[in-house]
């Protein structure tokens, strides 16, 4: 995807002199400033996942793979010490974000690739596997765009929630990807972009991506989605996912469940777009998905650019007021029309999901 006319991925890795630097687009600075941040150790990379310097299930997964490859390069060459170091790094990275399935999926993918290898070969193999993971996300994002394209007719008005674009999946993204492709093919498409409180990933990130692509859109307050649905101004809802259970229940940014219920009430198809790496076949249903709860300050304060151009953090609540801040909610499978994967659009049903892994 392009930023100011130049192609970027959300993250990538540079290896020099036996060490790796993970380079990421610093997402909290957007849309006011575009900057690349260097993560020089696996601990830096773990912190960048934890503090949401990067976010989005696919990009979290890719960066986790990079982080474990960094750890392999940082580890001692003596075999016992090497594996002890790598195991500790695995645990550190695994504990950064609990909800997104792609994180552990890709840590395990790197571990499987290096298992049984001597340290020198394991280091090379870890780097190769981490880069392969990143390339895989780039391919599947485009495949999701092509499968989802049939949902975006000329004149379609789509609504999305949070950011599941290329910032969240290395390239192309998941939920907005069909709209990007439709726009590139000359179809008229319009996207309603939920602001997505409390961190405003829709207003800050999805809108910024849409502007880079030139896709017509409008940011709306989270509680305005039902207004436009009832007026007949939304034709389809497509969101991303952070974890999909074996029965089709799906965890995504908090507020997604409300969109699904509103869509059902108004006769609007509701789709989830995600790569198969987001599916956790060992998770029986939505009640088994761990839901991260983040700092209350994300609800009590907002950050933005003031009239002088500076970034300011301001309180929007009474001093001392309590808050709750679940980062995700679960949409039951019965509200989901289908899941757009790199292998096609499937029903949100246990049998259809199981078939993907046969």
Ramachandran sector of residue 51 (left: φ over 0; alpha: ψ -120 to 50; beta: rest):
alpha
Ramachandran sector of residue 259 (left: φ over 0; alpha: ψ -120 to 50; beta: rest):
alpha
CA dihedral 25, 21, 175, 311 (to 10 degrees): -20
Catalytic site includes residue 91: no
End-to-end CA distance of the chain: 33
Q: Which residues pair with 253 in a beta bridge?
A: 328
Radius of gyration of the chain (CA): 20
Token digits of residue 309: 């151009």
Gap between the Cα atoms of 135 and 96, Å rounded: 23
| Distance (Å) of CA 228 to CA 131, 158, 188, 233, 300 | 42, 11, 19, 5, 27
**Active-site pick, 194, 222, 235, 242:** 242
The answer to whether residues 111 and 60 touch, using CB atoms and an 8 Å cutoff, is: no
**Residue closest to 241 by CA, chosen among 342, 353, 328, 324:** 328
Residues tagged active-site = 242
């Amino acid at each position: 995807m392009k930023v100011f006319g130049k192609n970027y991925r959300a993250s990538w890795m540079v290896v020099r002199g036996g060490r790796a630097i993970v380079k990421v687009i610093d997402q909290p600075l957007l849309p006011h400033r575009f900057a690349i941040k260097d993560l020089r150790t696996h601990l830096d990379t773990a912190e960048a996942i934890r503090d949401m310097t990067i976010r989005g299930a696919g990009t979290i997964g890719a960066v986790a793979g990079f982080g474990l490859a960094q750890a392999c390069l940082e580890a001692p060459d003596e075999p016992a010490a090497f594996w002890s170091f790598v195991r500790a790094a695995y645990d550190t990275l695994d504990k950064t974000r609990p909800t997104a399935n792609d994180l552990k999926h890709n840590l395990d993918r790197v571990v499987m690739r290096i298992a049984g290898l001597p340290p020198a070969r394991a280091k090379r193999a870890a780097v190769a596997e981490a880069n392969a993971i990143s390339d895989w996300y780039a391919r599947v994002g485009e495949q999701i765009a092509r499968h989802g394209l049939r949902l975006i007719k000329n004149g379609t008005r789509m609504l999305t929630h949070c950011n599941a674009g290329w910032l969240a999946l290395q390239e192309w993204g998941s939920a907005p990807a069909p709209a990007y492709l439709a726009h590139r093919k000359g179809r008229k498409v319009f996207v309603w972009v939920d602001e997505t409180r409390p961190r405003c990933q829709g207003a800050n990130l999805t809108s910024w991506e849409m502007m880079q692509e030139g896709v017509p859109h409008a940011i709306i307050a989270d509680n305005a989605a039902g207004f436009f649905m009832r007026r007949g101004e939304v034709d389809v809802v497509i969101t991303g996912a952070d974890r999909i259970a074996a029965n089709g229940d799906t965890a995504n940014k908090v507020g997604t469940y409300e969109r699904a219920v509103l869509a059902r009430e108004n006769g609007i198809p509701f789709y989830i777009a995600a790569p198969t790496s987001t599916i956790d076949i060992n998770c029986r249903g939505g009640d088994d998905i761990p839901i991260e709860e983040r700092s209350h300050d994300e609800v009590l304060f907002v950050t933005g650019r003031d009239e002088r151009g500076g970034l300011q953090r301001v309180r929007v609540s009474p001093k001392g007021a309590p808050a709750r801040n679940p980062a995700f909610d679960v949409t039951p499978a019965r509200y989901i029309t289908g899941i757009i994967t790199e292998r096609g659009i499937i029903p949100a049903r246990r049998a259809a999901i199981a078939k993907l892994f046969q």
